Amino acid sequence: MLKSDFRFSTPLRVRWSEADPQGIVFNGHYLNYVDVGVTEYYRALRAAAGAQPGEGLDGSEFFAAKTVLEYKAPALFDDLLDVHMRVAYFGNSSMRFVAAIYRGDELLLSGEVVYVHADQTTRRPTPIPDSFKQNVTTFECVAPEQAAPAVQG
C-alpha cells in the first residue's frame, strides 16, 4: 500500500482514553479512526465539488456493510497519526474504501470498509448516483475500479 495512492489524509492524535495502561491503543479504537477518516473524506470531497453544508441530501445514505482491518504495528498514546482514505471500487449500489493509518512513514494499519447506498427509510439498496461517482473519480488520484455493467439479455 503506497501513500502516493491516496490523495486524502487527515491527522489524528491518540488520546489518553484510547490507550491501555502500557500506552498502547486498544484495537477497537482503530475502527473509530477509520470512521473519522471517512467523515473527513466526505467533507473534503464535498468542498472539492463546491457543495454547501447540507446540500445534496436526497433521502439516501451509505450504510456500512463490511469492515476488514489488518494490524501491522501498535499506535501509542500521544502519537500523531495520518489516516489515509480512498474509494477504490464502485459497484452498482456499493463502494469500497481503502484505509491506511501511518505514524510518519510506518504503516500501522490497513483495511477496507464496504458501504451500500440505500434508501434511508426502507434501507433497500439503490444505485449510486453517477454524479457522486464522477465527483469521487475526479477527486481521487487513482480512479476507483468500477463493476462491469450488467448484461441485458
pLDDT at 153 over 60: no
Collect all residues with Cβ–Cβ distance below 8 Å to 27 and sequence separation of at least 6. 71
pLDDT tens for 102-152 read 999 999 999 999 999 999 889 899 999 999 999 999 999 999 999 876 656
Which pLDDT score, from 0 to 100, does residue 34 have? 98
pLDDT at 41 over 90: yes
Which pLDDT score, from 0 to 100, does residue 1 have? 73
pLDDT tens for 59-85 read 668 999 999 999 999 999 999 999 999
Enumerate the domain spans of the chain. 3-146
Question: Domain 3-146: which CATH class?
Answer: alpha beta
Report in angstroms the alpha-carbon separations of 61 from 32, 95, 121.
19, 12, 10
Degrees to nearest 5, angle at CA 26 with 98 and 100: 15
